[in-house]
Chain A
Amino acid sequence: MRDGSLGCSSQINDLHLRKVQTYGFLDRVCQQLDLTLTQYEEAKSRYEAVGTWLADAEDPLLRTSVIYAQGSTAIGTNVKPVGSNEHDVDLISLLPDGSTNMEPAAVKRVVGDRLRANGRYRDIMSEKQRCWRINYANEFHLDITPAIPNPACRNGGELVPDKTLKCWKPSNPKGFRDKFNERAKLVPALLLEKAQRGVTASDSTVEPFPVKSGAKGVLHRTTQVLKRHRDIDFERLDKSLAPLSIIITQLASKSYEYCIRHFAFDNELDLLVHTIKFMPLFIEKREIGGRTHYFILNETTTGENFAEKWNDEPQRAAAFYRWHRKAEADFARLIETEGLDELTAELKDSLGEGLVKRALDAQTGTLSAARTAGRLSVAAGIGLTTAAAAKATAMPRNTFFGRREQ
């Protein structure tokens, strides 16, 4: 939000710059969590090959099948798992000719049998509760969930097996993706104005160092840092209670829209912190039979409650609220740190040491590359920058020397 308080304009400028660059550092952290472009393209060509293999089958049910990415791969919020390079790539194999007359277990088996008939997949596939996994070691694994059309859904939703494989339950991965992307495109009024003027720091026309990649927006990055925060937080706890990614994603996207519609922001960090803060507003609670029931509904279909399990296992709800309080505090506190070392120390605690170290390497590496290339300068009121600025001094070549007082 806009700094309403009065004070020395340079202090306001410093705070603004710190927020802009703190977000810039979080953006770098997220770049380390992303699927790389190579990984993404590799995964895509691998799952398209799977799709072709399924559709080339004799079985009429498979002949019309289509494979597509769902979940974080579809919306671009992948998070590299802690201590591993293997990304999850979640896929739907939609069987348009499938119907609710068919047993979910039987449909799943049809897909599995066809995959197993291919020597390339046979040895690297395994069965999961609701899907088939094809594992490309050290790269990613493809989780393929069968789905059939949901005639009762007006938004083109689908049905996927429930975890017992006994019945079908509504889902709408494409609707979910489109709704998320629609919200991600919302930009707060002040940020938009800033982008149009090409201004990132108040009273200045200079982009401070580090220059942001800008590839993904605040909603994507908020979702990614939250998922990573959860992964690290639950490392030491009962991992089975960790909030589902889809819950984090849904609450973040609703809260993000709420923040943009109700407040004005002049920097991305404030938007991220407020988005986190208001997430619980979008958990619906109803008292049923003297007990609290939780609803986090998929708005793009009927009958899909992401918080379904909370109602059987209330400790999941408690685990969410505990984690959320910690995440809110951890990200709000970033602005109180002094210096790159304190910022990274805070982030190492909440997002993991190796990840933050890689982001630091990337950030300082960019600085050093700009220095070597003679593109670094010091701009008035900004500090080190790689952008051209009227009031700036070029960074001349130097060799740090030094003798220690013995």
Chain B
Amino acid sequence: MKFGGCPILTPAQQLLFLQRSEVFPGLGTLAGNKLTWRCDRRPTGLSRLYKVRLTYVGGETPDVIVEDPDLPLLAGGEKLPHVYSDRPTRLCLYLPGNKEWEPHQRFDQTLLPWTDLWLTYFEDWLARGCTDWQGGGEHPDENENASRRERRRFEAKYGRRRR
């Protein structure tokens, strides 16, 4: 299957790239069409150690979840910025339909670097008293129409997101 001229990567192919990555070492499994990659991330020398799980079912959107520590707890009850859900903490790392991640792109070159970046801005956000996210981005709550448009565009391309 091709995507915009580039062959899309299957979960098995993504797993191979992840296993070869020296930058994002971790442990992976493949069950049928579902890839799971677990890695420990410390995005900078000053950061905590985070347990991150990436899951991907071929043809759907990948999920990046922070399993440990409990981010809502660290945030002391404040709503987390740029997440799809607080628990499990599923990160919103890119704008769908904006050619940031597409199915022909490797996770170790997109979602995982963005996870490090997200976690770094997250600690900065905590340091500011859970306010003033410095990482930029878009919050659909702030721009409902644009987000609906994006989502429609996204769903037209990839199908409905599994909830």
Contact = CB atoms under 8 A, between A and B. Distances in A.
B125 to A, nearest CB: 8
Contacts of A25: 46
A34 interface: no
A397 B43 CA distance: 17
Interface stretch (B3-11, B26-34, B130-138): B130-138
A7 interface: no
* Leading 8 A-B pairs by shortest Cβ distance: A400-B137, A17-B45, A21-B45, A341-B126, A402-B92, A402-B82, A399-B95, A340-B123
B43 A401 contact: no
Interface string A317-345: 00000000000000000000011110111
Contacts of A208: 44-45
Contact of B95 (A357, A376, A401): A401
Nearest to A345: B127
Nearest to A210: B44
Contact of A339 (B82, B110, B126, B136): B126
Tell me what chain B mostly uses at the interface: helix, strand, loop, or mixed: loop
A264 B94 CA distance: 46
Contacts of B118: 400
Contacts of B134: 364, 368
B42 A341 contact: no
B48 A405 contact: no
Contacts of B80: 404
15 contacts: A19-B45, A21-B44, A22-B45, A22-B46, A341-B127, A360-B124, A384-B116, A396-B110, A401-B95, A401-B139, A402-B81, A402-B84, A402-B138, A404-B83, A405-B85
Interface residues of A, number: 47
Interface in B34-54: 42-49
A393 B44 contact: no
A383 interface: yes
Nearest to A209: B44
Contact of A380 (B22, B42, B110, B113): B22
A404 B141 contact: yes
Contacts of B98: 399
B137 A402 contact: yes
Given A339-B126, A345-B127, A384-B117, A399 B138 contact: yes
B120 interface: yes
Interface string B69-89: 000001000011111111000
